[in-house]
Amino acid sequence: MTTVTSTHTPSGGARTSRGARAARRALVLAGGLVVLLLACAASLVYGSSHTTFGDVVDVLRGTADSNVTTIVESRYPRTAIGVLAGLCLAVAGSLMQGVTRNPLAEPGLLGINAGASASVVTATAFLGASGSTATMWWALPGALLAGVLVHALGSAGTSTNLVRLVLAGAVLSAVLTAYVQAVTLSKPQVFDSYRYWVVGALSGRDFDVFFSVLPFAVGGFLLAVLLGPSLNALALGNDTASALGSRPGLVRGAGLVSATLLSAAATAAVGPVAFVGLAVPHVVRALIGVDFRLQIVFSAIAGPALLLLADVVGRIVLRPQELMVGVVTAFIGAPALLYAVRRMKGAS
């Protein structure tokens, strides 16, 4: 009698597991896109002036009266800038946490917020700059210069020393913050202008601001997408990354360049909005895993959704006045971050 032994291979179970993960990621992606679209719609509907979703549809069709059309169309640039800034902050945060392998890293680690603040204060106090467009043009070079300086100080030869990078960012931020405080305390009129910008807001911006920072945002985002596979290798350690053909020093440098471009664009456009770059990457990892190729794409969806929803909440709670988006993101981002951290703890 011939005995037939049945052997079970794990390939079927592995394929099922991969299929389940792919389905979960597709579901999360679809849900994220729906939330982002709803956030964009809410950003067009809600404001200091009362409008409805039907009014927005009428404006898009060209059948609304001139008053409603003016109100809704004034929200277009605000919504577009919110999407762009949210994308930049979230992707920059994901890059910073991947490059430094520090879950608490965020764009401010590069001293970009302090550099932009110092540049804005200098232009306002000594060059008479005013208005959102002028402020943006001064914040952008200050943010970029701070990021380059921190990167230069944190580099040893051709490699990037993470400890030196963090120390350089902390020192530069402390020095520039002291300078900002000195100038604003000695010039009250500068403080009045600066305190509005430093909290972070989407209001008062137009499409000139959007298109001015767009090239920096696009360049930084494309570089981030290209770095996804290399960041996955880097997460395994320098030796393993080198064995896989990656160049850790080059990857870190390129990641910091990308994060600098993205952070500078967002900060110049809307001011130093906190918590988006820190919280969104944690939420994304809790939902879709640690693959940086996916993290960057999902962060580009979750970041704008969070920032726009925070802006909408700020418009509603104090109507007809507004609560600045930088204040609201802290209240929304903190619970989201705590939820993500609890999920990560449970999965470990």
pLDDT, one tens digit per residue, over 98-114 is: 888 877 778 777 788 88
Beta strands in the chain (DSSP E): 155-156, 159-160
The answer to whether residue 2 sits within a structural domain is no
d(CA 47, CA 94): 31
Task: Give the pLDDT band of residue 157 (cuts 50, 70, 90).
Answer: low
d(CA 242, CA 74): 51
Q: Is the pLDDT of residue 149 over 80?
A: yes
Q: Is the separation of the CB atoms in 304 and 87 below 8 Å?
A: yes
Q: Is the pLDDT of residue 87 over 50?
A: yes
H or E stretch covering 273: none
At which residue do the structure tokens 């979750």 appear?
Answer: 302
The answer to whether residue 8 sits within a structural domain is no
- Examine residue 320 and say whether the peptide bond preceding it is cis (omega within 30 degrees of 0): yes
The answer to whether residue 11 sits within a structural domain is no
In terms of pLDDT, which residue wins out, 104 or 345? 104
Q: Name beta bridge partners: 159.
A: 156
Task: Give the pLDDT band of residue 246 (cuts 50, 70, 90).
Answer: confident
d(CA 168, CA 144): 15
The answer to whether residue 287 sits within a structural domain is yes
Percent of the chain with pLDDT over 70: 90
Q: Is the pLDDT of residue 198 over 90?
A: no
Indicate the DSSP class of residue 107.
G
Q: Is the separation of the CB atoms in 216 and 140 below 8 Å?
A: yes
Task: Return the pLDDT at 156.
Answer: 59
d(CA 122, CA 120): 5
Q: Report the predicted TM-score, pTM, of the whole model to 2 decimal places.
A: 0.87
Q: Which domain holds residue 39?
A: 32-347
Q: Is the pLDDT of residue 170 over 60?
A: yes
The answer to whether residue 124 sits within a structural domain is yes
Q: Per the structure, how many domains does the chain have?
A: 1
d(CA 129, CA 78): 22
HSE-CB for 203 with a 13 A CA cutoff:
16
The answer to whether residue 286 sits within a structural domain is yes
What's the alpha-carbon Rg for the chain, to the nearest Å? 22
pLDDT, averaged across the chain: 84
Task: Return the pLDDT at 313.
Answer: 92
d(CA 4, CA 188): 89
Instruction: Tell me which residue of 227, 115, 127 sits closest to 173, measured CA to CA.
Output: 115
Task: Give the pLDDT band of residue 1 (cuts 50, 70, 90).
Answer: very low
Query: Do the strands 159-160 and 155-156 form a parallel or antiparallel pair, or are they unpaired?
Result: antiparallel
* CATH code, domain carrying 42: 1.10.3470.10
The answer to whether residue 9 sits within a structural domain is no
Task: Return the pLDDT at 86.
Answer: 95
The answer to whether residue 36 sits within a structural domain is yes
Which of 18-27, 61-70, 204-213 has the lowest average pLDDT? 18-27
Average pLDDT over residues 185-189: 85
Q: At 239, which amino acid appears?
A: D
Q: Is the separation of the CB atoms in 336 and 283 below 8 Å?
A: yes
Task: Give the pLDDT band of residue 11 (cuts 50, 70, 90).
Answer: low
Q: Is the pLDDT of residue 348 over 60?
A: no
Q: Is the pLDDT of residue 3 over 90?
A: no
